[in-house]
Amino acid sequence: MANIASARKRARQAEKHRRHNAALRSELRSAIRDVRKAIAAGDKKAARTVLQRASGVIDSIADKKIIHKNAAARHKSRLAIRIKAMA
């Protein structure tokens, strides 16, 4: 454990940021899971609307640098490809 006051404060801040980032990462995973469920259900129109909502979540989390912008683009691209492939 840190002995210096500034180091104790930094540890508190780091823990707070870690929890916040974990919550955002969880939100990201949930958004992706919702799109995959919509794809599995087979409703292309519903899947498209869910992807649109998820894209906003993915982009906002990439803007906050929780995930890299290229990773965000890759997630969106792969989900879009899966929706396009639907009958």
Q: pLDDT tens digit string along 30-53?
A: 999 999 999 999 999 999 999 999
Please, are residues 43 and 5 in contact by the beta-carbon 8 Å criterion? no
Q: How far apart are CA 49 and CA 41, in angstroms?
A: 14
> 44-63 and 69-84 helices cross at what angle (nearest 10)?
180
Q: How confident is the model at residue 2 (pLDDT cuts 50, 70, 90)?
A: confident
Fold type of domain 5-84:
Methane Monooxygenase Hydroxylase; Chain G, domain 1 (1.20.58)
The structural domains of the chain, with segments of one domain joined by +, span 5-84
Reported pTM: 0.85
Amino acid in the structure at residue 63: D
